[in-house]
């Protein structure tokens, strides 16, 4: 991970576990005041696509270290970026960003590498695709990365105009952030001492989006939750806690609560709701690999509320995605 609270996964996970935030005044103004954001401070003040390259490349490099004899040419890179409808979306994300990252790293990835422009849900879409590629093409591993930044003037302007940024006069808003994150995926290994396994994935479509005037019933997220049973025979009853992309806006939390209430069948004493936006703000397409890193860190270090994890994400255009993760030990016991 490369985030506003750490330039490596270890540093970022430690900071987020300690509830440290990277929030500070930015150089942008909204509603007559400085916008609070979570900026990744690098050695030089890069902007635009050049900064995205320098956010993504170190995170991907972290994942390349344990490859051993596997060459990058055998590893597909599925790169998640902002959805095409994003206000102020940077030019060249779809056709230039991936080659620029390869050039920065000095490697060339598998010919199946591609860009997935899905915003926050892109990470789960990429994991679903990676799962199919590993099984169908018998690939040893697959790399899912996400990079995004909301700290762009042409992006912040429209969100400020729609009163979606957190300010002194607007409590129902998000803090813009930026990050580069990556996760290395492979087939389940029964010989591994411990693994974080993705057991089920589901997708849905919501009509009552954040900009819609229709009443929200969370139909899209409920559809994604039901897809978990169709895909892996699992439900929310199999999860002990949840990690989501909720960014501080009331819509996201309402969407979560409604879907949970309509889906959970067994009464839970607790069902913790965690979200990295508490520390690093809204990071868009970078959120899913970040969540996987946090979940794996919590499992390895023993501070997770349980072995079963629900992850769900939504974007502004109605796409919904969910997955069930589980920590599995070598003896098969959680």
Task: Write the DSSP string, 289-308.
Answer: HHHHHHHHHHHHHT-SS-SE
CA 104 to chain centre: 23
Based on C-alpha coordinates, what's the Rg of the chain?
Answer: 19
On whether both 294 and 163 belong to a single domain, the answer is no
Is residue 96 included in any domain, yes or no?
yes
On whether both 116 and 202 belong to a single domain, the answer is no
Is residue 147 included in any domain, yes or no?
yes
Q: What is the pLDDT of residue 31?
A: 79
Q: What is the pLDDT of residue 287?
A: 98
On whether both 151 and 116 belong to a single domain, the answer is yes
Single residue among 151, 185, 219 that ends a domain in this structure: 185
On whether both 34 and 176 belong to a single domain, the answer is yes
Q: What is the pLDDT of residue 191?
A: 83
Is residue 144 included in any domain, yes or no?
yes
- Whole-model pTM: value is 0.95
Is residue 213 included in any domain, yes or no?
yes
**Any idea what the CATH number is for the domain that residue 288 is in?**
3.40.47.10
On whether both 50 and 150 belong to a single domain, the answer is yes
Range of the domain at 76: 9-185
On whether both 225 and 254 belong to a single domain, the answer is yes
Single residue among 117, 150, 185 that ends a domain in this structure: 185
Measure Cα distances from 254 to 82, 135, 215 in Å. Answer: 23, 37, 11
Is residue 3 included in any domain, yes or no?
no
Is residue 4 included in any domain, yes or no?
no
On whether both 160 and 198 belong to a single domain, the answer is no
Is residue 1 included in any domain, yes or no?
no
Q: What is the pLDDT of residue 273?
A: 96
Measure Cα distances from 173 to 154, 168, 182 in Å. Answer: 18, 10, 27
Residues in the chain: 334
Is residue 139 included in any domain, yes or no?
yes
Residues 326, 328, 332: CA angle, nearest 5 degrees: 135
On whether both 278 and 261 belong to a single domain, the answer is yes
On whether both 128 and 105 belong to a single domain, the answer is yes
How far apart are the C-alpha atoms of 103 and 215, rounded to whole Å? 47
Flag residues of the chain having pLDDT under 50: 332-333
Single residue among 125, 156, 185 that ends a domain in this structure: 185
On whether both 161 and 198 belong to a single domain, the answer is no
On whether both 179 and 220 belong to a single domain, the answer is no
On whether both 228 and 288 belong to a single domain, the answer is yes
CB atoms within 10 A of CB 142: 28
For 136, phi then psi, to 5°, come to -75, -40
Q: How many domains does the chain have?
A: 2
């Amino acid at each position: 991970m490369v985030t506003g609270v750490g330039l490596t996964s270890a540093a970022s996970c430690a900071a987020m576990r300690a509830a440290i935030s990277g929030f500070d005044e930015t150089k942008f103004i909204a509603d007559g005041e400085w916008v609070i954001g979570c900026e990744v401070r690098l050695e030089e003040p890069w902007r635009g696509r050049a900064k995205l390259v320098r956010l993504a490349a170190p995170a991907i490099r972290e994942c390349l270290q344990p490859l051993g004899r596997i060459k990058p040419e055998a590893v597909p890179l599925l790169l998640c970026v902002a959805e095409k409808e994003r206000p102020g979306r940077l030019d060249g994300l779809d056709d230039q960003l991936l080659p620029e990252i390869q050039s920065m790293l000095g490697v060339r990835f598998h010919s199946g590498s591609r860009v997935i422009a899905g915003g926050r849900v892109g990470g789960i879409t990429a994991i679903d695709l990676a799962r199919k590629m590993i099984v169908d093409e018998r690939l040893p591993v697959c790399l899912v990365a996400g990079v995004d930044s909301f700290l762009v003037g042409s992006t912040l302007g429209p969100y400020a105009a729609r009163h979606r940024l957190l300010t002194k006069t607007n409590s129902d808003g998000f803090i813009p952030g930026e990050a580069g994150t990556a996760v290395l995926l492979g087939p389940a290994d029964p010989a591994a001492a411990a693994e974080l396994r993705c057991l089920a994935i589901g997708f849905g479509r919501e009509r009552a989006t954040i900009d819609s005037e229709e009443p929200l019933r969370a139909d899209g997220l409920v559809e994604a939750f039901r897809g978990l049973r169709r895909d892996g025979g699992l439900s929310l009853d199999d999860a002990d806690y949840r990690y989501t992309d909720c960014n501080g806006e009331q819509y996201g939390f309402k969407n979560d609560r409604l879907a949970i209430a309509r889906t959970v069948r067994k009464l839970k004493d607790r069902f913790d709701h965690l979200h990295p936006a508490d520390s690093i703000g809204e990071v868009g397409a970078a959120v899913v690999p970040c969540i996987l890193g946090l979940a794996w860190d919590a499992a390895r270090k023993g501070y997770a509320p349980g072995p079963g994890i629900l992850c769900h994400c939504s974007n502004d255009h109605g796409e919904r995605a969910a997955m069930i993760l589980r920590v599995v030990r070598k003896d098969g016991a959680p």
